[in-house]
Amino acid sequence: MSEQVSVMTGNEAAATAAKLARVQVIAAYPITPQSPVVEQLAAWVESGELPAEFVAVESEHSAMTVCIGASTVGARTFTATSANGLAYMTEQVWWAPGARLPIVMCIANRAMAAPWNVLNDQQDSMSVRDAGWVQLYCRTNQEILDTTVQAYRIAERLHLPVMVCYDGFLLSHTMMPVAVPTAEEIDSFLPPFTEPFTVVDVDDPRNIGPVVIADPRADETGVVRGGYMEIRAMHHRALLEALDVIVETDDEYAAAVGRAWGGLTWEYLLDDAEVVLVAAGSLGTQATVTVEALRAEGIKAGVLGIRAYRPFPVEALRDKLAGRKLALVFDKALSYGYEGPICSDLRGSLLGVEGAPAVFGAVCGLGGREVTPDHLADATRRAIADLEAGARTRETDWINLHLDGE
């Protein structure tokens, strides 16, 4: 049997991927715009189509806690959330990577309250970028399906949890054709997970995740065990290793299923581009339309899309951007009191690199504010004018903002 193409939402693509991955435990609490992911999975579990445990919990904190417990005994687990649900989950969001559990969580990106807002931006997942998860951002529903399946392979190779992020409503509730791989294709790509770090054995009981003292210390058998810093250093090393594993996994997926998504980054009309629009998620897709329009005006513009935001693909970005004139970063999030998170990360990674472009930041789309290719084009023309006027840095440009009723 070959791949079937179905028309489905991003949420259905995420649920389909979890089913294809043969997840064993799902725990979730409803929140817009994520809810249809786990509603679909619950329906499949109820009908018997998906032989998994669906644990209905009373909060996102408990959803992640159930995933942590199930993953600790070696089960393949899944959850999904958005915005305030992710924030409520935060304590356990930190536990999962520290305990090196290969949990996969989809984030249908949504604005953080207050003021209350259910629409898209990327502030939610950006706010936990430092927790030690792999974070991948998707631009289409097909990429959501493929990336969620890939996420299990990445997670289980490295013993790290993976967040698959996609824009709420713009992808989560938008229908697109999605090719669904066969169960055989995914089974060959993603074998069962058999090697958890943790051991649960009634004949050989362990303390799992006991307190560690500041310094390394010998255990009861005389073997020196790491202190907090050693365990965290190994965690960090695994995340850096993900830079290779994400690319390898994308290649393996291409061999098994016939599609790849660029690994760490993706690009459009980048070869000869002097001005590079940088974005994560569906905003990057918008930017592809923008650069076509800019090229019609004689501006050599291209797009560099961030697929892996954590680990941050420093070398790949240096390679792609050295020799350009300008990198204009469009963030759908803000580190309040500073600037967009991708913008500052990118500027830092290019510091001291020969031929590095000027890096300007723009913030857009917060709380679902409309961003059109024209908005991005106007912002790019402003940035080019600033650069030609001699600016090497400047304040963050707010796109489509209307203060004072203007």
State the residues that interact with other proteins by CB under 8 A: 98-100, 159, 197-199, 204-213, 215-222, 224-226, 230-231, 234-235, 238
Least distance in angstroms from the C-beta of 315 to other proteins: 24
Dist. CA 40–CA 304, nearest whole Å: 33
If residue 40 lies in a helix (H) or strand (E), which one and from where to where?
Answer: helix 35-47
Choose between 173 and 235: whose C-beta lies nearer to other proteins: 235
Q: How far is the CB of 231 from other proteins (least distance, A)?
A: 6
Given the complex with other proteins, which of 210 and 390 has the nearer CB atom? Answer: 210
**Inter-CA distances, 148 with 2, 15, 18, 39, 237, Å:** 20, 9, 7, 17, 23
- Shortest Å, Cβ 160 to other proteins: 10
Least Cβ distance, residue 97 to other proteins (angstroms): 11
Vertex 139 angle, CA 117 and 325, to 5°: 100
In the complex, what is the shortest distance from the CB of residue 132 to other proteins, in angstroms, rounded to a whole number?
12
Question: Do 122 and 332 touch, CB atoms closer than 8 A?
Answer: yes
Of 271, 281, 300, 267, which is closest to residue 380 (Cα–Cα)?
A: 300
Residues 6+ apart with CB under 8 A from 77: 23, 24, 25, 26, 27, 66, 67, 70, 71, 103, 104
Nearer to other proteins, 93 or 329 (CB): 93
Beta carbon nearer to other proteins, 113 or 234:
234
Question: How far, in Å, CA of 265 to CA of 225, rounded?
Answer: 37
Residue whose CB is less far from other proteins, 64 or 180: 64
Task: Name which of 230 and 378 has its Cβ closer to other proteins.
Answer: 230
The residue to which tokens 């002097």 are assigned: 274
Backbone angles phi, psi at 15, to 5 degrees: -65, -40
